[in-house]
Amino acid sequence: MTACDSFRPAGRCKAFLIRREIPADLSAVEAVALEVREASASLCSPLDAFAVELLVREALTNAVLHGCRLDPKKSAFVALRLTADRMVMVVREAGPGFDWRRQIEHSADDLDECGRGMAIYKALASRIRFNAAGNSLALTKLFNDIRF
């Protein structure tokens, strides 16, 4: 479900919300990312909108690909709140998780096809939190928080 909390006089959203369970399928990740892209266009700067979409894509792709292993019997959960000054997102999956403590300092080589998630989170998010198991991620992005 998505919703606008309230409206500005011009009819633009002040807040965008998603709370959704998505199938372990990359097309579901794409659908959520496109929905977030559309909402962020009216809520924040183009640079912040790009960062939000990339964070959403990366977190959901990791959950679906690595956590759920694209298993059609599994799903991931996303909760996202987007306002004019920040994005807060939680992504959770039922897999065993991973050792995020080891990966937090990992840096991918230029030619690596994967392994860039932590670098993306660190570059674009203002706050990164994993649960102990590593199967739940909370990201906060404060807008106008220049990180690159």
- Is 38:18 a contact under the CB 8 Å cutoff? no
pTM of the model: 0.87
- In-domain check, residue 105: yes
CATH of the domain at 53: 3.30.565.10
Per the structure, the complete domain to which residue 84 belongs is given by 16-142
- In-domain check, residue 5: no
- Name 28's Cβ contacts closer than 8 Å, sequence gap at least 6: 22, 60, 64
pLDDT digits over 8-53, tens only? 334 456 899 999 999 999 999 999 999 999 999 999 999 999 999 9
- In-domain check, residue 38: yes
- In-domain check, residue 52: yes
pLDDT digits over 86-115, tens only? 999 999 998 899 989 888 877 777 667 777
The rounded distance, in Å, linking the Cα atoms of 9 and 5 is 13
- In-domain check, residue 1: no
How many domains is the chain partitioned into structurally?
1
